[in-house]
Structure 1
C-alpha cells in the first residue's frame, strides 16, 4: 500500500510539473512548399531563436506534408524563425507570443532553390540550424545542443534526436546500430564508437554527421537498408594533432576491499597508444566494458567473443577483466594497444593483454522433476575455488590498395591456464519412495588452452557500378588439455554405497578453415546477379582416457577401457549459391538458391570403427524489403557437435551421466524473420516490431533415463518438429517540453514460444513453452541537474505437455529498476540505484525477494573538475543474492549463488584531458547507473 501511495503522489507531481510547463508556452506552425515543383518539403529544419541574442530556443523538422509545428515556445519574448534546407534559400521571420495569442501561424512558406551558395554561406554562424538533412547524411550542429562544461561526446549524442545509447554505451541512430565513429573523416582509435564517446569532450565538436556504413554495404550489397549500420563523423572545431587522456583511480572499502587502476590513451598524428592496469577484489571489472572496448578499437582488431554478466563483469576473447564467473572474485590485469597509420594506406594494430582471476563460489541448487504423480527433488551444495590466467596477443593490418580495393588481415593468439577445486554434496528424494541417494563429490581440475585464429579479406569494386568481388578466409585452431581428478562417495538407499577415484584426461584439438568468394554483376539498372562459393574444412580430435587409482602405489595408472576412446572427425562443406536482386525505389527483392555438399568422416580409433556420412541439399533463400518492412527466409544445415557423438559416458557426476550418440544426423532448419522499424524524427517517436521463427527436423534433443535409485543418464537423439518463434515490440516517445525539461515513456513486450520433444524413461511428449515478458519505462531530465529513470518488467513462463505423464509448469518473475541522479549544489553529485526482484515460487531456503540499493556522493574539484572524490555504498540493505528460477523439459530449477554484499567505499579518481590548443580538458558527466561503480 505504501508503494501505491508513493507512486500515486509521484504521478500527480509529475503530471502537475508537465502541465505547468505546457501552460506557460506557445506554438508556431506553418507549411513549406517547393517553388519549382509545388510539392511539400519534408525534413526541412525550422529553428526558433531568441531575436535579441540569437540563442536557440528549439527546433522541429517538417513532415511529409510539408507542415511543421513547434511547441513549448516562451511567451512575451521576441523570437526569430529560421527555415533552412540544403540547396534552398533561407527564410527568416520574427514573431512574438503572448498569453492572449499563444499561437502563431506562419502560413504557407515558399522555398526557393539557391544553387549558387552553400547553406553555410547563406546563414550567419549564430543562425546555423540544429539539424540539416543532405541526401543520405544527417548533420547536427553541436552548438545547438547545450551540455554541461564537463560533458563528453556521449552526453552530446544523448541530446540528438533519433540517437539512443543503451546501458553499455552502444549507439543507435533512427533504430540502426552505429558501427564506428570517425573524427574529421578518419578512424579514431580504430573507429570504435566508445573510444570517442567516452573520452572526447563535447566542447571540441563542431558538427556530428550521420550516414550509412558504406563498408558494410560493400560487404553485403543486398543487405536490407533497415539492417545497414551507421557511421558517425565528428567534425572538430580545430584539427586535433595531438592529445593525451585517461584516468587513474584508487579506492578503499571496509572488510579489506579495494580497487585501483589506470588507463592512459595518447594520440599524435597517426600514432595511437593505450596502456592500462588494474586490480580489485570487488567482483567487478577493473574497467567498464566501455573502457576496455574503447582501447584502440577492438572491434577492428580481432574481437570475436565478448561476454558481460549482470554485475558488469567483462570477458574479451577469453581474457577476463574482472567480474566474470560466479561467486566472489579477485581480478587483476595489464595490457596495451597500439594503432599506427603508415603511408600508402597501411594501418597496423597491435595489442597484448594479461588477465588473472580467482573466484570463490558457494552455490545452492534445488531441482524438482515432475514424473506423473511423483516429484523427484535433487538438492546440491557446491563450494569451489577457481583460478584463471590468460594471455592474448593480437594484430590487425588494413591496406587500402587503391580507391577501388582494400585488404585486411587479423591474426590472434590466446593462451589460458585454469585450475579449480570443488566439493559438491547432492541428495535426491522422491515424493513417493523418500530418500534415493546422496553423493559427496570432490574434484580437482587443471586445464590448458591454446588458440590461434585469423581472418583475411579482400574487397574489389570495378569501374562498372555495382560490379564487385569479395574474398574471405578464416582459420581457427584451438587445443585444450584437461586433467580432472574425481573422488566420489555415493550412497544409495537402501542398497549401500560405492566409491569412484579416477583421473579423466581429455585432449581436444579443433581446426577449421573456410574460404568464401562472392561476385556481383549488374544486369540492368534494377537487376543484379550474385554468384558465390564457400568451402569449409573441419578437423576435430577428442582423445579421452580415464585412469583408476592404484590402491597400492597411489598413482592413477590403471586404464579404464570402458571410459576411454579416441575420436577423430573430418568434414568438408561445399556450397555454391546463385541469386538475383531486384531494386525499384524503396522495394528490394532477393531470391537465392544454394547447393550444399556435406561430408562427415568419423573415426573411433580406440574401438576400430569408422562412420562416413554424405549429404546433399538444395537450400532456397529470399529477402524482401519495402520501406520500413523487411522479410527474409533462409535454411541451414548443422551437423552435431563432436561431444554429442562421443560414445564414452561422462561420469564425473555419477548421479547425472552424459553419453554421446554416434548415429546422430545433421539438423535441417528453416527460419524466417519479419521486422519493422519506424523512427519519426520530427516527433521524436520510435517504434520497432520483430517476428522470427525456426522449424527444425532432425533437431538434437536429450533423452533421459531415471533409474530406481535416482541416477539419471542422458543421450542426444534426433527429433522432428522442433519449433521456436520469437516476437517483440518496442515503443518509445520523447517529449521536450522546453529547453530545460524533457521526459520520455516507453513500453513493449518480449514473447518466446518453443515446441520441443521430451523423452524420459521411454515416455515421449511434445512440450510447448511460452515465455511472455511485458515492460514499461519512463524518465525525466531537468536541465541535467535532476535525472530519474524507472522501469518495470514482469515475466510469465508456462510449459504445456501433450502427454498426461507430465505436469504443466508455471514460473513467474518481476522486477523494478530505478535510478536517480541529482547534480546540485554545484560540484556535488548525488546518485542512487535500486533493483528490486521478486519471485514468490522459490524453493525452501532460496531467497524470494532481492532489493539491491546502491548510493553514492561525488565531490568534483580541481580545474575542469578533473578530480573526483566519491563515497559510495553497495547493497545498502544487505540483501543482495544471485538468485535464478527457470523451467526446462519437465523440471523447475532454483539456483542461489553467493555474491559480494554490503560494503562502504571511498574512491579518488583523476581524469586526464589534454588536447593541446584544441580545447580545454574536461571530465565526463558524473553520475548515472553506468558510472556509479565504474569510474
Structure 2
C-alpha cells in the first residue's frame, strides 16, 4: 500500500507540471425567458490560425473549453429557432468566464427556411442528432411518441422505442431528466404540439458528467426541447369508458409546467390490459396494440389500478430536484400452451398451464443535484420499493419419447412473496480551480430483503412403472437478504492542450444470505411438520472486488481517443449448511481493458468504435446445491463450483445526416464474446451428482445444472436510411439487420452449440400531409436459421412477418376515424400453434365543446377476433413455442376530455387551419 501511495503522489506531481493553460466557460440561455438551452453548438476559433474547437452545452446550458492557450478568440453559438451569437475576446493567463450568453428568438421562423418545399428535418451536432419538430406533421391530439416515430432512425421494436438501433432508456425535457422508470409512459405523457425540437444522443453516466472523463457507460437518450410559449401552463386528458363483457376503463393525467417546475399526476383503473394512462392515449383503450412488457398485446387478461406522481423543480439557483412515486396493483390471468422439442433425442415436452399473478407495489425514487459552486457538485439518489406478489400456477405436463407417453404430471405452486428494496447513491465532484484537476467520489449502497411462502402439490403418473407414481405435498419458506455497497474514487488531470489522465480506484462488496427450508405435509398431524433437509438450503456468500488503474484521453475537434486499463482482484467466499456443509472459496484476478475511438469526418458525419470488458459473478440461485422440483419434469439443481463470466464487447457506429437533402443514414455493429459463459448442463439419463435419497425419478425428466463453458458469442449489425418522399408528403425509413449468436450447452456430457442466424428487413412510411391525415405504415420480415451441432436433424428455420397500419383522420366537422391493423404471419412453428392472425382495432369519434376539447367515441378491439400471442424460445438444448391467452374482441363507448391552458395564451383550436406551417403546430 505504501508503494502504491508513493506512485500516486509521484503521478500527481508529474500531472501538475502539465497544467500550463487556462479554460473558457459560460452558459447559454434564451433571452426571452432565461431558460437554459441544452445541446447548443458552441465553436471556439483562435484568430491567429483559425483553429476551431467545438463542444455542445450540457443539460443546464453550460459549456467549457479546457487547455485554451493565450491569444485572441471568437466564440460562435448556433441553436435551432434562435439567432446566431458571436463574441470576440482575449485570453490571458487567467480563466475566462463569459457568464450568461443570451440568444434571441430567430427573426425568421423555421417554416420559412425551406429546402425543396419542406422545413429542414434538423442537423447533426457531433454526437447529437437534432430534429425540428415543425418538419413532422401529427394529429392535433398527438403525443411525443407519435412525433418521434416519424423521425429518421426512431422505430418501435417489440413494443420498445429504439433510436439508431438501441433501446431508448432515458427521457429528458429541456435538458432535465424525466423522473420515472418507464420510457414509453414518458413519451406518451408529452404533447407533440409542445415540442420545438427533439435531440437524440448517447447520454453519459452521472459519474462521467461530474468527472469530465468518459467512463464508456452510455444510454440512448431523447431530449425534448419545448416551445417557449408552452412552458407555463398545464395539459391533460381524462377518459371514461364501458364496454361489452363488462370491460371498463377510467383514467386521467395532468401535466403542470411552470418554468423549471414540472408536475405530472396519472391515475388509471381498467380491465382491458392497459398498464398506464397518458396524454397520448387513444379513446377506448383498445388502440395502439402494444401495452405489454415485451411488445404486442400483453399476454393474459389484466386488471390494473395505477397511480403515479412525478415532480421536477429547481430550488433556488443551485439545487435541482426530481422525484417519482408509483403505486400499482395488477392482476394477470394467463393460460399457456407450451411445446418443447429437445435437441439430442426424439423426446418432446408439452404443457398446459393456468397462471394467476397478483402484484401490489409501491415505488419511490428521488434525485437531488446540488451545484454548490463552480468547483463543487453533489448528487444524491435514494430509491425505495416494496412489492407483494401472490401467484398460482397449475400445470398439466407430459413427456413423450418416440410417440409414447412416459410421464404425466399434474402439479401446482401457490406462492406469496414480499420484497423490500432500498438503495442510495451519493456522487460528489470537486474541481481544483482552473488547474485542470478533478476529484470524484461515488458511494453506492443497496439492500434487498425477500420473505416468501410457497405451497407445492404434485401428482405424477409413471406410465412405465405405475408403482413409482409420485404424490407430494410440501411447504417452502424462503428468507433471503442481500446487502451490497461500492465506493469509487477518480482523480483526473490535464496533461496537455488535448489530453487528460485519470486514476481510478473502486472497491465493492455483495453479501447474500439465503435460507430456504422445505417441510412435508404430515397427514395424521394435519400440518407441515416434517423437515425435508435434502430439499432445503442455507447459503451465505460474500463477493469482494477491488479495481484500480489509469485512463488516458486525447481529444481534438475531429478525433477522440480513450484508453482504459483496470486490474481487478476479487474473492468469493460462501458456505452452505443444507443439504450438506460445503464451503466455497474463489479468487479472481482479471485485467479489464477498454478503449474508445471517434472520428468526425464533418459536422454531420462521424464514426465511433468502443471496446469494453467486464466480469459477472454467479448468483446465489446458481450456486445453491439444492434440488428444485417446482416443475417435476424439469428439475434444477445449483452448482457451487461455478466460476465468474468474463465478457468482451465491441460496438461500432457510423452516422451521417445531410441537412440539405434531409437524408439520414445510420449503421452499427454490436459484438459480444463471453468466456466461462454460465449455461445449462442437461442430463436425460444418469446424473454425475448425488440426488436426495427420497427423490423418485420421473421418466423423461431432464435435470438442469448450471456450468461454465467457453464459446458463447453474438454479433448484430443494423442500418437505417431515411429521407422525405415529397410527392406524397411523407417520410420513408428503410431498416435492416443481420445477427448471429452461438450459445454453448451440454447434453449428457456432450457439448452442443445452438447457432441462430437472423435476417431482418423493414420499411416505415409516415405521413407528413396535414394534421387532418396522420398515418404510419410499417412492415418487417424476419428470417431465422436455427442449427445445432449435436443433432442436425433438429435444425429448424422459421419466418415472421409483421405489418402495421395506424391511421388517424378527421373526416368532417370534428368527426374522427382511427384504425389500427396488425398482421402477423408465421411459418416454421410447431404443430398445434396458431401461426398467423390479423388484429384490427378501430374507433369513430365526434369532437364536442369549445375548442373541441371533448370527444365521444365508439371503439372495437380485435374486430375479427383473431388476436393470439406466440413466442419462440431458442436454448442450447431445445426449441420451444409458447402460445398464451390474450384479450380478444370487445366494444367500448368512451368519453374523453382534454385539458389545455398556457399562461402565454390558450392553445389554438385543434381543427384550426394553419397555413404555411409544415409542422401542423404554431
Instruction: Kindly provide the CA deviation profile for residues 72-118 of structure 1, in whole angstroms up to 9, marking residues without a partner as x.
Output: xxxxxxxxxxxx99479xxxxxxxxxxxxxxxxxxxxxxxxxxxx99
Matched position secondary structure for 1:552: helix
Separation in 1 of the partners of 2:192 and 2:402?
65
- Gapped runs of 5+ residues in structure 2? 1-46, 55-81, 87-100, 114-118, 283-287, 601-605, 686-697, 914-922
Task: Note the C-alpha offset of 1:804.
Answer: 4.8
For 1:852, the equivalent position in structure 2 comes to 839
- 1:534 and 1:413 map into 2 onto residues whose CA distance is 25
- Distance of 2:149 and 2:720 partners within structure 1: 19
Aligned to 2:228: 236
Which residue is 1:375 aligned to?
346
Deviations 1:250-296 (A, max 9, x none): 0011011100022233345665443332211111224159789xxxx
Contact 1:173 1:230 in 2 (8 A): no
SS of alignment partner, residue 540 of structure 2: strand
| Corresponding position of 2:749 | 762
1:907 aligns with 2:900: no
> CA offset at residue 812 of structure 1?
2.4
Aligned mates of 1:878, 1:192 — CA distance in 2: 30
Q: Distance in 1 between matches of 2:891 and 2:850?
A: 28
Q: Which residue of 2 aligns with 1:700?
A: 678
Q: Give the superposition deviation at 1:591.
A: 1.5
1:313 to 271, 274, 292: 292
TM-score, L = length of structure 2: 0.77
Checking the alignment, whether the CA contact within 8 Å between 1:393 and 1:414 is kept in structure 2 is yes
Deviates more, 1:470-479 or 1:762-771: 762-771
| 1:727 aligned residue | 717
Residue aligning to 1:266:
256
CA contact (8 A) 1:152 1:925 kept: no
Match of 1:709 among 699, 703, 717: 699
Q: CA deviation at 1:925?
A: 12
Change (3 A) 1:918 1:701: same
What SS does the corresponding residue of 1:682 show, helix, strand or coil?
coil
Note if contact 2:203-2:218 (Cα within 8 Å) is conserved in structure 1.
no
| Superposition deviation, residue 397 in structure 1 | 2.1
Matched, 1:459 2:429: yes
Within the alignment, does 1:411 sit opposite 2:390 as a pair? no
Once the two structures are overlaid, the 10-residue window that deviates more, 326-335 or 122-131, is 122-131
Q: After superposition, give the CA deviation of every residue in 1:10-36 in whole Å (9 maximum; x if it has no partner).
A: xxxxxxxxxxxxxxxxxxxxxxxxxx9
Q: Is the 8 A contact 1:787 1:820 kept in 2?
A: yes
1:183-262 to structure 2, matched below 5 A, reads 217-218=209-210, 221-222=213-214, 231-237=223-229, 242-262=232-252
Q: How far is the alpha carbon of 1:556 from its aligned partner?
A: 0.8
Q: Using the alignment, how far apart are the partners of 2:804 and 2:134 within structure 1?
A: 34
In the TM superposition, residue 593 of structure 1 has moved relative to its aligned partner by: 1.0
Q: Tell me whether 819-828 or 187-196 shows the greater mean CA deviation.
A: 187-196
Which residue, 619, 625, 632 being the options, matches 2:598?
625
Q: Report the equivalent of 1:358.
A: 331
Is 2:263–2:310's contact at 8 Å kept on the other side of the alignment? yes
Q: Distance in 1 between matches of 2:299 and 2:416?
A: 18
Question: Is residue 2:588 matched to residue 1:588?
Answer: no
Instruction: Summarize deviations over 1:604-633 as a string: whole Å, max 9, x none.
Output: 133333222111122222211112211222
CA distance in 2, matches of 1:911, 1:449: 38
* SS of equivalent residue, structure 1 residue 605: strand
Deviation at 1:499, TM superposition (A): 0.8
CA distance in 2, matches of 1:285, 1:121: 40
Question: Of the candidates 851, 856, 859, which is equivalent to residue 869 of structure 1?
Answer: 856
Report how far residue 854 of structure 1 moved: 0.8
Superposed, 1:487-566 pairs within 5 Å as 487-496=457-466, 497-566=469-538
Shift of 1:666: 1.3
Kept in 2: contact 1:583–1:589 (CA 8 A): yes
Q: In 1, Cα distance between the equivalents of 2:385 and 2:850?
A: 42
Report if aligned partners of 1:174, 1:686 keep a CA contact under 8 Å in 2: no
**Inter-partner Cα distance in structure 1 for 2:105 and 2:400:** 82
User: In 2, Cα distance between the equivalents of 1:256 and 1:502?
Assistant: 38
Query: In 2 relative to 1, CA 756–547 (structure 1 residues): closer, same or farther, beyond 3 Å?
Result: same
Q: Does 1:482 align with 2:434?
A: no
Query: What's the secondary structure of 1:873's corresponding residue?
Result: strand
Separation of aligned partners in 2, 1:142 and 1:725: 34
Structure 2 Cα separation of the partners of residues 867 and 418 of structure 1: 39
Q: Residues of 1 paired with 2:872 and 2:250: CA distance?
A: 35
Using the TM superposition, name which of 656-665 and 882-891 deviates more.
882-891
Question: Are 1:660 and 2:638 an aligned pair?
Answer: yes
Listed one character per residue, the Cα deviations across residues 856-901 of structure 1 (whole Å, up to 9, x for unaligned) are 1122121222111121111000011112233322422121111110
Cα deviation for residue 465 of structure 1 reads 7.0
How far residue 142 of structure 1 moved from its aligned partner, in angstroms, is 7.7
Q: Deviations over 1:654-703 (max 9, x none)?
A: 11110111111112222222221222222222212221222222111111
Which residue is equivalent to 1:826? 813
Deviation at 1:152, TM superposition (A): 6.6
Judge which range, 569-578 or 756-765, deviates more: 756-765
Residues 576, 494 of structure 1: alpha-carbon distance in 2 compared, 3 angstrom cutoff = same
Structure 1 Cα separation of the partners of residues 131 and 757 of structure 2: 44
Task: Determine the structure 1 residue equivalent to 2:417.
Answer: 447
For residue 482 of structure 1, report the CA deviation from its aligned partner: 2.0
Given that residues 334 and 354 in structure 1 are in contact (C-alpha distance below 8 angstroms), is that contact kept between their aligned partners in structure 2?
yes
Alpha-carbon distance, 1:524 to partner: 0.3
Please, which moves more after superposition, 525-534 or 385-394?
385-394
What is the rounded CA distance, in whole Å, between the counterparts of 2:493 and 2:212 in structure 1?
14
Q: TM-score normalized by structure 1?
A: 0.76
Match of 2:621, SS?
Answer: helix
| Partner residue in 2 for 1:616 | 589
Residues 681 and 745 in structure 2, CA contact (< 8 A), matched pair in contact too: yes
Aligned-residue CA RMSD (Å): 4.1
Question: Does the residue aligned with 1:656 lie in a helix, a strand or coil?
Answer: coil
Please state how far the C-alpha of 1:205 moved relative to its aligned partner. 7.1
Residue 895 of structure 1 is matched in structure 2 by 882
Whole-angstrom distance in 2 between the partners of 1:530 and 1:706: 53
**Native 8 Å contact 1:86 1:133 kept in 2:** no
* Deviating more after overlay: 646-655 vs 687-696: 687-696
2:826 to 835, 839, 844: 839
2:665 is matched with which residue? Answer: 687
Residue 463 (structure 1) shift: 3.3
> Deviation string for 1:38-68 (max 9, x for gaps)?
x9x9x9xxxxxxxxxxxxxxxxxxxxxxxxx
Q: Deviations over 1:114-145 (max 9, x none)?
A: xxx99979957799746798988999888888
- In structure 1, what is the Cα distance between the partners aligned to 2:187 and 2:641? 52
Any idea what SS the aligned residue of 1:561 has? strand
Instruction: Give the C-alpha shift of residue 592 in structure 1.
Output: 1.6
Match status 1:744 vs 2:708? no
Superimposed CA distance per residue, residues 494-550 of structure 1 (whole angstroms, 9 cap, x where no aligned partner):
201121111122222111111222222110012211211111110011211111111
Distance in 2 (alpha carbons) for counterparts of 1:135 and 1:886: 41
How far 1:816 sits from its partner (Å)?
1.7
Aligned partner of 2:355 among 384, 388, 395: 384
The answer (yes or no) to whether the contact 1:150–1:865 under 8 Å persists in 2 is no
Aligned length: 790
Contact 1:502 1:556 in 2 (8 A): yes
Aligned runs of 1:78-97 on 2, under 5 Å? Answer: 86=84
> Shift of residue 310 of structure 1?
7.2
Question: After alignment, is 147-156 or 553-562 more displaced?
Answer: 147-156
Q: CA deviation at 1:176?
A: 12
Does structure 2 conserve the Cα–Cα contact (< 8 Å) formed by 1:447 and 1:481? yes
* Counterpart-to-counterpart distance in 2, 1:795 and 1:576: 44
Larger RCO, structure (CA 8 Å, separation 6 or more): 2
Deviations along 1:529-580, one digit per CA (max 9) or x if unpaired, are 1211111110011211111111111211101111112000011111002121
Higher deviation after alignment, 798-807 or 728-737? 798-807
One of 407, 417, 426 as aligned partner of 1:437: 407
Structure 1 Cα separation of the partners of residues 830 and 111 of structure 2: 65
The answer as to whether partners of 1:596 and 1:619 remain within 8 angstroms in 2 is yes
